[in-house]
Structure 1
Amino acid sequence: MAQVRLLDKYLRRYTQLSERELSHQLQTNLWFTPVLYIFNSFILLAIAFTADYKLKTGEKMWSIFSVNYDLTQALVSTLTAATLTLTTFTFNLILVVFTTFSGQFSPRILKNFIASKATQRILGIFTASFFYMLFSFLFLNKRFTEQFFTVPLMAVILASVSMGTFIFFINHAVAWLQVNKMTNEMKKESLAIVDGSLQKEIEPYRVKDTGPVKKLVEDLVKSPGNQIKSNKAGYIQLIDFAEIMEEAQKDDIIIELKHAIGDYVFNTTPILTYWKRQGQTIDEYKYLAFFSFGKRQTEVQDIEFSINKLVEVAIRSVGNFDPKTAQNAIYQLGELLTYISCVANFDPYLVDPNGQLRVILQEKEFSHYLYNGLGYIRHYSENNVVVGIEILKVLDMIAQSANPRDYEAIWDFAVYTAQGFEKDFLFGLDYEKFNSALYDIAVSTKHEGDYEHLREKAGSQ
């Protein structure tokens, strides 16, 4: 009875997830794809035994292809044990990869390896092959036929595929342990989140002219509004912006989100404030249904969490005296930040199709993402001048392609970075490289005058 209740609770948990959450959960679980492959192996098993028991393919084939019962039983039993051994060894290798990832890089990037289609398909092939062998051995029966063809043929084919898959898995695991491959995959994931969270979900509602809206908001915030508190504690994993916009338009209200995706809230934390007409009644509970809370952060909509994975790789690499890995992660971050600057509109106001303000987001400028991406690396690299120079080089590359709107943020961050390393210059070459990188950024961001002022100030000291 207890097991039934546990299963019911487990299933109910998945049925309550949104389509996007369910897709993410299935993608990052090791059991889903192997279960599908096992189901297909049972279909293959049914076809094989139907061919041998009903159609008598073993008796109709040439004697060179026909396999008697004893040989079939010996073959299938041997392959069952061999496939189980291969599967077990593969799982051990996966655990080794997991341990390496956690210790050397970050435990938060293990999901990238698990969610890899190659990893899931490899395990699916192994488990499906084992179940085919096991149930073939179980259903072999001398009373139905003495000669077999399809069952042993499928067993041999699956064993061969499993061996080839094992070789592929070794190559796959080795490739994933290469930092360039790993950081590139994390960057792709982050770019996909930017496209999904910023472009497809929010951008259609962005206001085109912020002037009138800002005046309305200034008048609006003078009144207290009505607060809706979270009914759960945890991280905000998802926000359904489309549904919030639709319901806010129906209720003719304006909503201000007090927290962003990835923030941790208590079950008594005000999560949003709304303003309504006098005497209007609002169903507050329905708006809470548009928020998903969980015990951990997820990458579905959380751009910063995805960025933090690359940041952790860089920080761990600096701590492990691995400057090349840190450099690779910094450049991947630079490409990601450049993309955010080019495609993102940081205005926090969302309007309905009629141009009426409906939602006010937490305002996050490019400087916020810049600090979260490179600021932590700058802080933890301490007196590592080499890493500091790489950060300045990446900032220059970002400035060359970024939206001119973000030049000020890039320049301010570059100055902050350079000043933090002034006391750590051991050689004149350090000083020259820093000044050269800083000058390039000044040119790219149109701050040549500020650069000269800094040089004069440093010279006077």
Structure 2
Amino acid sequence: MYKEKAWVHIRDSFWFLPTIYSMLSIICVSLVTMVDLWIIPKVKESVPSILLMNTSTAQTLYGSLITSILTMTTISFSTIMVVLTTYSTQFSPRTLQDFMKSRVTQHVLGVFSFGFIFVIINLLLMGGEQSKALISPFLTVIVSIVCLGFFIVFIHHSSRFVQVNNLIGKIRLSTSKVIKKTFQDKDFQEASEWNEQNIAEGKEAEKKAIYARESGYAQAVQISSLVEWASRRDALLEANFYIGSYIQKGMPVYSCWSNIEDQEELDSCNEFLLIGNERTDLQDIEFSIQKLVEIAVKAISPAVNDPHTAVDCINRIGSLLAELGTVYKPIRYYGDEEQVLRLIMEPLSFEQYLYKSFYQLRIYGSKDISVMNGVLEALFKVASVNGEAVKRDVWKFGLYIIRAVDVKELDELDYEQFAYFAERLAASCNMSSPLER
């Protein structure tokens, strides 16, 4: 897990792809220089003159190209700062991750790094012979044109990314991928229920605590590795945290029933828990939904007053909950190949996902009837495409939302709309209307 943690930090860091592009640029410069030194002198007569340039002309060209690439890079960084400021003030600080991790953003800066290093190293390696024929200036012009193309792509990408509808759509798609990955078929045994006798047998050994080595958010757990670790030691583990919860250094993260006496060996299972300074969407469905919730809450604040954006977020949250309901399983037991219980890890219930998705909107949007109608409509759609278990949770939560609105204070037209959405929700959950005025 430490290797995975290092890889995640390197992969998601802002300098990773620009560094890769810079290294490729050095390699390309080396190859082009060898061509200029060893190949071009031999085939100069066969190469079209338009592809070759003398040293003095190349030096002038390189000076102009370096300036232009630096200018495009400066404008790109300025654009990035504008986008980040907009995200932080108007949307949510958590959404900064989405733009910073965008491959388009990182590839564009990588191409600029490639172009700048390619030009400046070619300039440094240029010989003093003024009449020497070179093909590297022609290739440098091509690199500069590619940089210009990526600059245009980046401006288009930034202008689209800063539009709230596109941001909401991207968060919804990325969250959908997390849901599919979380509930896809695994290469180990998992179940919602387990034989009580087998659980009791697994807990016959002495109970020991395994403590956290560092503080931070639980970002990911390698369940298959934990199951394998416990199987090799004939142990049973029980996790004392949820994905996304904050873990304090020294707190017991696992309870372990085994005959292992060496505490260091017990602590070795911490290698399969990834803890970081911030929550991520590696395995954290709740955090991904939280981004949409924060955008919606900020949109209905008096400073912004944009209920349509809030309703758009609510629609996407409802879509994610509907998708989650179709695949959700309260999996808490994990066994090895011999069907022996090795790990107990309590999952978030579907009811908890509902609550975390809408309770803040209930608090801050209860006076905005359009927001409340949007929540009821989203709940109606979640119930419509799912089974009885999900319908029960949705109806229970729907009553919680309905009670937030004082229907006696509503105008007749507002009440009619609110009653319409409440009755539709009740019908989809096979319940009677809860409204009485």
Structure 1, unaligned runs of 5 or more: 1-15
Does structure 2 conserve the Cα–Cα contact (< 8 Å) formed by 1:234 and 1:265? Answer: yes
Q: Does 1:394 align with 2:367?
A: no
1:339 to 315, 320, 323: 323
For residues 157-191 of structure 1, what are the alpha-carbon distances to aligned partners after superposition, in whole Å with 9 as ceiling and x for unaligned? Answer: 11111112111111100110122211111112212
* Structure-1 separation of matches of 2:78 and 2:354: 39
* Structure-2 separation of matches of 1:179 and 1:431: 30
Structure 2, unaligned runs of 5 or more: none
* Structure-2 separation of matches of 1:66 and 1:116: 38
What corresponds to 2:120 in structure 1?
134
Q: Secondary structure at 2:256's aligned position in 1?
A: strand
What corresponds to 1:8 in structure 2?
none
* Structure-1 separation of matches of 2:329 and 2:196: 16
Does structure 2 conserve the Cα–Cα contact (< 8 Å) formed by 1:59 and 1:147? Answer: no
For residues 320-345 of structure 1, what are the alpha-carbon distances to aligned partners after superposition, in whole Å with 9 as ceiling and x for unaligned? Answer: 11112111111111111111111121
What corresponds to 1:168 in structure 2?
153
* Structure-2 separation of matches of 1:77 and 1:173: 29
Percent identical: 27
* Structure-1 separation of matches of 2:124 and 2:376: 66
Does structure 1 conserve the Cα–Cα contact (< 8 Å) formed by 2:237 and 2:256? Answer: yes
Q: Does 1:155 align with 2:140?
A: yes
State which drifts further: 287-296 or 407-416: 287-296
Which one-letter code corresponds to 2:268 in the other structure?
K
Tell me by how many angstroms 1:221 deviates: 8.0
What corresponds to 2:350 in structure 1?
366
* Structure-1 separation of matches of 2:204 and 2:356: 32
1:104 to 90, 98, 109: 90
For residues 409-447 of structure 1, what are the alpha-carbon distances to aligned partners after superposition, in whole Å with 9 as ceiling and x for unaligned? Answer: 100111111110125743112211111111111111112
2:255 to 273, 294, 315: 273
Tell me by how many angstroms 1:47 deviates: 2.4
What corresponds to 1:113 in structure 2?
99
What corresponds to 1:426 in structure 2?
410
Does structure 2 conserve the Cα–Cα contact (< 8 Å) formed by 1:385 and 1:424? Answer: no
Q: Does 1:251 align with 2:233?
A: yes
Tell me by how many angstroms 1:240 deviates: 1.5
* Structure-2 separation of matches of 1:75 and 1:322: 51
Does structure 2 conserve the Cα–Cα contact (< 8 Å) formed by 1:255 and 1:274? Answer: yes
Which one-letter code corresponds to 1:157 in the other structure?
I
* Structure-1 separation of matches of 2:392 and 2:34: 73
Give TM-score, length-normalised by structure 2. Answer: 0.91
For residues 49-86 of structure 1, what are the alpha-carbon distances to aligned partners after superposition, in whole Å with 9 as ceiling and x for unaligned? Answer: 22222223594334444322211110011111111111
* Structure-1 separation of matches of 2:51 and 2:343: 71
Give TM-score, length-normalised by structure 1. Answer: 0.87
2:246 to 261, 264, 277: 264
* Structure-2 separation of matches of 1:407 and 1:425: 29
Which one-letter code corresponds to 2:141 in the other structure?
V
Length, aligned pairs only: 431
* Structure-2 separation of matches of 1:24 and 1:231: 19
1:229 to 191, 205, 211: 211
Q: Does 1:438 align with 2:422?
A: yes
Distance 1:83 1:148, change over 3 A: farther
For residues 284-336 of structure 1, what are the alpha-carbon distances to aligned partners after superposition, in whole Å with 9 as ceiling and x for unaligned? Answer: 12222222222222221222111111111111111111112111111111111
* Structure-1 separation of matches of 2:204 and 2:404: 40
Which one-letter code corresponds to 1:332 in the other structure?
R
What corresponds to 1:384 in structure 2?
368
For residues 76-87 of structure 1, what are the structure 2 equivalents within 5 Å?
Answer: 76-87=62-73
Does structure 2 conserve the Cα–Cα contact (< 8 Å) formed by 1:234 and 1:293? Answer: yes
Does structure 2 conserve the Cα–Cα contact (< 8 Å) formed by 1:35 and 1:124? Answer: yes
Q: Secondary structure at 1:268's aligned position in 2?
A: coil
Does structure 2 conserve the Cα–Cα contact (< 8 Å) formed by 1:254 and 1:274? Answer: yes
What corresponds to 1:315 in structure 2?
297
